[in-house]
Amino acid sequence: MERKLFTERIRIAIARTGWSHKKLADKAKVTKTNVSKYMNGGYSNPRYETMQRIAQAFEIPLEFFTVPDFYVSSVFKESSPNIAMKEDENSIKNMYIQLSTRLAKENETLSIQVQILNNKISELKLHLMELKDDKRVK
């Protein structure tokens, strides 16, 4: 198998699915570093088992990565954008949940800080009143 072909095809597969390197690594059970090397052509001839896992992760035939005349359009049909959109929707939902949780924690922290500042202001007002009383007594 030609190294350039594998690199070119994995780039196409990632572009068509919209997957991140991490997502492919997780699905194919390879490291994110290796996915980056495959994408940049820095990893020569991955093992057959690795290519098989990557093909299975994308749910495409192994020949897509190994046969130069294999048509890209025969692998990635019109339904692929829908799959990518569904996964994007799930990613957005997950990000929303994470951000909501983070915002709630930050809001709680801000509430505590506001309470502390209000207590300090009350202490300063009390101290100021004490100073005024001291001046009146003298």
Going by the DSSP 8-state scheme, the letter that residue 123 receives in this structure is: H
Tell me if residue 21 falls in helix, strand or coil: helix
- Per residue in 76-127, pLDDT (tens digit) is 654 444 555 555 666 677 777 888 888 888 888 899 999 999 999 999 999 9
- Per residue in 32-62, pLDDT (tens digit) is 999 988 888 877 578 889 999 999 999 898 8
- Confidence (pTM): 0.52
9 touches 16 (CB < 8 A): no
What is the reported pLDDT for 23? 94
Q: Please name the residue that has the structure tokens 């290519």.
A: 51
What is the reported pLDDT for 132? 84
Question: And the tokens for 35?
Answer: 């996915």
Closest CA to 7 of 29, 30, 38, 36: 38
